[in-house]
DNA sequence: CCAGCCTCGGAGAGCGCTCTCCCACGTTGT
DNA sequence: ACAACGTGGGAGAGCGCTCTCCGAGGCTGG
């Protein structure tokens, strides 16, 4: 196998393979791509020629004519937070895992992009418009992200994680967050908790809102007309701070629902600090079922969000939008489940 | 701005811009790429034409002739662990952040790849050989990874995070792990700890070995001839288990050095469970200075590894290898620092 | 005043692939 | 027997860009 350098000059081309096999370029191409019928013997001939030349098709050349790159952009839409923060969030890791897992079965590769500034957003757009990727997967951490709208305007295939704050003709994958809130409330009530509070995510996020209203509505149905809430921003620190505030205002609380596990972890710390035992004195429920839920002692009872599956579905949706550009925007909603552990 | 679809048929091409500006394709290309001098007036003319046509250069066409893609592969070399595990590790998040941070200043984009099976490794190789990326950044989680060797053989530009287990003519970025071990030992001794143990990473990893020998050598210099060790695999669970074992065999221990923060976090849990107070009864030192160090209560004293900077340097090295293919393999070693917090 | 040079725009040849035609050769039907 | 059709291979025209080469024009120096 006389391999040439990657795609350096001198690397074998289709032409070389064709010559070695004694057929035309077109035939080699047909064998490689499996388009049309090619005689068995000739196919064998071509395969041997490919092996002996060490031929590898050139992606750029192929893209140029097919107008497909076989890559998509995986865009993380951070806001003000320092860069590390976004990627370090276990939530992002799960999304990446789900996306990569699905894409690899289709021979597609994700390009990691960060869209935290106007400039970065413009770059994402340019990246797609210049045909460097066939579409985009967006994971947004804040509400007023202009990127989804920009993609819709440019008619670029894209799929969001979570429903956009503004209605937009764009596909997305989401969790029935409202149901998640209900699950948490029902569980807390079934435990006989009387003075329940909640730590919410940023309230401009539909996600946070839905979890909160689902939770409050269910609590109301159970006779708890009002549930005090404190907002965090999905980080552990913010959860700890919110818990401190709630503890100060409602020292008698015996149940807490945090809108994600990281904040629950922070709340747990604050509760310990104040000498509250979990779950004996205070029952604590998180949201996500991330690795943080298992890292806590006691391990967190939590509302599971099947992030990996959702991410995979997101990728699947995007690929179908790429294949059929005229496909209508659709949404896929996943159901949350309660994962009972020790904390509640 | 009469924008055309991304790189769909009908999108404006260089030709269109040239016609609109009344110049040749070559001139437009020169203006865009800033090669050679072009008359100011003509430049202005061209820029206007670009704006009015909404032109975006086609990446594939450019790659085809320049043999550069402006993307690199960011390869995570997992072993047997479930997929999610790898991406969820905060360590990976920091690497990603560092890489993305540097690359964006150079207009280069990372493609995320997972090389956890022979098949996946072959795909990484094919990806590079077909010119889909200009080089690769490898983050390996286990010792006997064949991928670096494969890349060297194929003469593809690549840079590793951490020294390879087998000597290999390949550039890498690493931490002075030995020094890190020394730092931890010195600190524990300065605290007057008498019965010190350590939780190591997988011992086939040079990283783990170096941390251990650095630690043991320094302890020996301080008169502690033998330091008991238990091996983990860098996960929280394994750290917890290792701590259990050590506690069983050395109930009188008063100092622990864990080879990463996640394992230290696990150890902390085990210590609590056994009623040991940290830092009063047992001093605990972690390694990495990851988000886990701050998530613990007490917060972890740890040996800081500037992962983001190291990742950025890795990217920088790779880009220089891509620019100068004949450049010799070099290594850049970063110095660890002790970050004193509450746990020791 | 002209050879020599330098500057800067244009022409055109590819880069490596796909894909539409076209054509040669069976095979079938009447 | 011949027209009609089906099968499978080859020719060749691009895809959109870069880059080398060429040449026109303006400048300098002897």
The CATH number of whichever domain residue A25 belongs to comes to 1.10.260.40
B164/B312 same-domain check: yes
B97/B118 same-domain check: yes
A296/A313 same-domain check: no
Q: Which nucleotide is nearest to B25 (CA to C1')?
A: C10
Low-confidence ranges of chain B (pLDDT < 70): 1-10, 80-84
A192/A298 same-domain check: yes
Give domain status of residue B190, yes or no. Answer: yes
The pLDDT score that the predictor gives to residue A165 is 84
Residue-wise pLDDT tens digits, A265-279 = 999 999 999 999 999
| B61 with A64: Cβ contact below 8 A | yes
Residue A96 has pLDDT above 80, yes or no: yes
CA distances from B184 to A287, B303, B329 (A): 36, 7, 31
B92/B23 same-domain check: no
Q: What is the number of structural domains in chain B?
A: 3
Give domain status of residue A154, yes or no. Answer: yes
Kindly state whether A190 is in contact with chain B, defined as any CB-CB distance less than 8 angstroms.
Answer: no
Domain that holds residue A40: 14-66
A224/A119 same-domain check: no
B201/B52 same-domain check: no
The domain boundary, picked from B47, B66, B85, lies at: B66
The pLDDT score that the predictor gives to residue B4 is 36
Give domain status of residue A8, yes or no. Answer: no
B118/B262 same-domain check: no
Kindly state whether A236 is in contact with chain B, defined as any CB-CB distance less than 8 angstroms.
Answer: yes
CA distances from B39 to A215, B26, B36, B57, B312 (A): 66, 13, 10, 21, 38
Q: How close, in Å, is residue B225 to chain A by CA atoms?
A: 34
Residue-wise pLDDT tens digits, A300-328 = 999 999 999 999 999 999 999 999 888 99
Residue A2 has pLDDT above 70, yes or no: no
Give domain status of residue A131, yes or no. Answer: yes
Give domain status of residue B343, yes or no. Answer: no
B133/B240 same-domain check: no
CATH number at residue B147: 3.40.50.2300
Instruction: Return the bridge partners of B199, or none.
Output: B230, B258
Percent of chain A whose pLDDT exceeds 90: 70
Give yes or no for a contact between B99 and B106, defined as CB atoms under 8 angstroms apart. no
Residue A6 has pLDDT above 60, yes or no: no
Residue A60 has pLDDT above 70, yes or no: yes
B118/B27 same-domain check: no
Give domain status of residue A216, yes or no. Answer: yes
B76/B121 same-domain check: yes
Confidence of residue A137 (pLDDT cuts 50, 70, 90): very high
CA B59, C1' D14: Å apart?
A: 18
Give domain status of residue B121, yes or no. Answer: yes
* pTM to 2 decimal places: 0.91
CA quadruple A278, A282, A283, A288: dihedral, nearest 10 = -80
Q: How close, in Å, is residue B87 to chain A by CA atoms?
A: 5
Q: What is the C-alpha end-to-end distance of chain B, expressed in Å?
A: 62
A62/A75 same-domain check: no
Among A6-15, A49-58, A73-82, A136-145, whose mean pLDDT is lowest? A6-15
Please check whether strand D approaches the CB of B235 to within 7 Å. Answer: no
Give domain status of residue A223, yes or no. Answer: yes
Pick the residue with more confidence: A183 or A19? Answer: A183
> What is the DSSP secondary structure assignment for residue A256, as one 8-state letter?
E
């Amino acid at each position: 196998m006389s391999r040439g350098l990657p795609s350096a000059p001198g690397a074998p081309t289709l032409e070389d393979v064709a010559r070695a096999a004694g057929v035309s370029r077109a035939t080699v191409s047909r064998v490689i791509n499996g388009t049309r019928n090619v005689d068995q013997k000739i196919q064998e001939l071509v395969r041997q020629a490919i092996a002996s030349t060490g031929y590898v098709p050139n992606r750029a050349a192929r893209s140029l004519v097919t107008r497909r790159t076989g890559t998509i952009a995986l865009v993380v839409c951070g806001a003000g937070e320092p860069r590390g923060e976004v990627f370090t969030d276990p939530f992002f890791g799960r999304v990446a895992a789900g996306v990569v897992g699905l894409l690899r079965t289709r021979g597609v590769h994700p390009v990691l992009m960060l869209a935290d500034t106007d400039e970065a957003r413009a770059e994402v757009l340019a990246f797609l418009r210049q045909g460097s990727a066939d579409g985009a997967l967006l994971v947004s951490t804040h509400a007023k992200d202009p990127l989804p709208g920009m993609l819709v305007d440019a008619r670029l295939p894209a799929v969001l994680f979570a429903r956009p704050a503004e209605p937009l003709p764009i596909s997305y994958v989401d969790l029935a967050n409202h149901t998640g809130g209900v699950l948490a409330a029902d569980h807390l009530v079934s435990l006989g908790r009387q003075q329940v509070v909640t730590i919410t995510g940023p309230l401009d996020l539909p996600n946070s809102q839905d979890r909160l209203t689902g939770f409050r509505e269910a609590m109301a149905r159970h006779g708890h007309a009002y549930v005090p809430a404190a907002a965090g921003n999905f980080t552990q620190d913010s959860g700890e701070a919110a818990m401190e505030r709630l503890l100060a205002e409602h020292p008698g609380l015996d149940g807490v629902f945090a809108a994600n596990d990281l904040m629950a972890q922070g709340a747990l710390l604050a509760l310990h600090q104040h000498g509250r035992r979990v779950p004996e004195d205070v029952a604590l429920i998180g949201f996500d079922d991330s690795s943080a839920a298992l890292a806590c002692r006691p391990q967190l009872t939590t509302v599971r969000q099947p992030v990996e599956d959702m991410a995979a579905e997101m990728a699947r949706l995007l690929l179908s939008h790429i294949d059929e550009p005229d496909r209508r925007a659709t949404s896929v909603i996943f159901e949350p489940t309660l994962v009972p552990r020790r904390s509640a």
